[in-house]
Each structure stands twice: as structure tokens, then as C-alpha cells.
Amino acid sequence: MTSATDTPIAVRRLNTQTAQTLTDLASIFNELQTVLRCCERLVTELAAPRGTVDDLVVEGLWTTALLSYSRCFTSGDRGQCLTESDVAETELQGEVLEWHKSLRKIRKHCADPVHNPRERFDIGVAQDDDGRPMGIAITSTPQPALDDRTVRQTGAIAYALSQLVDKRITEHQEKVYAAAQQMPTSELNKLARIEVAVPEQEPEQGDSE
């Protein structure tokens, strides 16, 4: 691994199984960080005075958090994902696994492609004193509003899982690097090149313009 002061001349794409696992772990960690950021924003939004909470912002943040969390447990085309065993491994207090399952169910509800996740609508006929129709009534029943406790519990489990994933990233990074060190330079040079932007270095104090 290069140090913070080293500037690599090239970055080559590794396609080994261990490298793919590391790719998956990095993606999962990013998803969990997104959950945490959404929860932090939601705590602030929900703490706003009554009548000033932006329901659209709350729904957007909560839906993003749920989708990001759910993707961590879906392998899809990749082979690496979190499992219920990982949730149990966090050693958080309380019914953590049940809360995890609830989040997966809520995600299905919020991402339902057919049904409105915010309100349930009913159509009725209004009657006059004689029982005759006098109009049509459109009624709606809103779903329970998101609360601070739900957000904080979600943030807690995402944080615990991110620590677990971060540890695995470090372990796999060492394995990938050890394997790369054993590869001949001629083989490394055959690998596809990844274009990366190198940040410009700040001029040190005392340097002339």
C-alpha cells in the first residue's frame, strides 16, 4: 500500500476473487454511510417546530436510507453481502434482528411500485336526510409518521454494521496487497489501467509563488 505522500505512476484493475470481495465491501460500507447521513439529517428535520417539518424531505431521506440499507443485504450480481448473522454479530442490545427484519418490510412498503406508501384512499357516497346520494367523498388515512426513535435505532444498527464492514475491508485490503506483491511487473502492466485524479498538493509555507 502506498503512503499518503506517495504518488503512484499507475493504478491497475485487479479481477481476483479477493479483489471483488473488497469491491463489494467498499460498496456496502458506502451504503451504510449513506444510511447514517440520512439518519443524521432526519433527526434534525424531525426536531423542527411543528408545522415546519418538510414532509417531502423526510420521505426522500427515509426512503434513501431504507433502500441503501436493503442493498447491503442483497447480493445481486456480486457474491458479497451482509446477512442476519452479521446483524447478530454487532452485539447491540435489544431485539436487533427483529428491528432489522422490520426495516426490510418497511423498505418494501415504501418502494412499492403500485400502492401509495403515504396514504390509503377510499371513495364513499354522501347521503342526504332521505338516504339519497348527494355527492362523492374522497377520504384518506395517512400512514403513521416517522418518529425520532425509529431513525435513531436505524442509525445505531447502520453504525454498528459499518464498523464490522470497515474491519473486513482492512483485512481484505491486506490480502489483496499481499497477492499483488507476488505478481511480476510484466503481469501487472497487462492489467487494465484505472484513471484516477491525483489531488493537487498545497504549497508548503515559505514556498515562493
Model pLDDT for residues 53-106, shown as the tens digit of each residue: 898 999 999 999 999 999 999 876 666 899 999 999 888 888 999 999 999 999
Highest mean pLDDT among 10-14, 87-91, 142-146: 87-91
Q: Torsions phi, psi of 126, nearest 5?
A: -85, 140
Average pLDDT score over residue span 173-186: 88
Domain positions in the chain: 17-188
Residue 207 has pLDDT above 90, yes or no: no
Q: Quick check: 97 and 90 in contact, CB under 8 A?
A: no
Q: Of all residues in the chain, what percent carry a pLDDT higher than 90?
A: 47
User: What is the 8-class DSSP label of residue 123?
Assistant: E
Question: What rounded mean pLDDT belongs to the chain?
Answer: 86
Write the pLDDT tens digit of every residue in 25-53: 999 999 999 999 999 999 999 998 988 88
Please tell me the distance from the alpha carbon of residue 79 to that of residue 101, in angstroms, as a whole number.
Answer: 21
pLDDT at 193: 82
The β-bridge relationship of strands 133-142 and 119-127 is: antiparallel
In this structure, of 17-26, 108-117, 193-202, the range with the lowest mean pLDDT score is 193-202
Q: Quick check: 62 and 42 in contact, CB under 8 A?
A: yes
Extended beta strands in 10-146, E state:
119-127, 133-142
Q: Counting beta carbons within 10 angstroms of the beta carbon of residue 69, is it exposed (0 to 12), middle (13 to 18) or buried (19 or more)?
A: buried
Quick one: pLDDT band at residue 6, thresholds 50, 70, 90? low
Q: Quick check: 72 and 161 in contact, CB under 8 A?
A: yes
pLDDT at 124: 92
In this structure, of 11-25, 113-127, 140-154, 184-198, the range with the lowest mean pLDDT score is 184-198
Residue 132 has pLDDT above 80, yes or no: yes
Selection from 66, 59, 45 nearest residue 153 by Cα: 66
Cell of 28: 456496502
Please tell me the distance from the alpha carbon of residue 174 to that of residue 22, in angstroms, as a whole number.
Answer: 10
Please tell me the distance from the alpha carbon of residue 207 to that of residue 151, in angstroms, as a whole number.
Answer: 49
Q: Torsions phi, psi of 142, nearest 5?
A: -70, 145
Question: Distance of CA 174 to CAs 108, 170, 184, 188, Å?
Answer: 37, 6, 18, 18
pLDDT at 206: 57
Question: Distance of CA 145 to CAs 4, 12, 46, 68, 157, Å?
Answer: 46, 48, 10, 20, 21
Q: Quick check: 166 and 95 in contact, CB under 8 A?
A: no
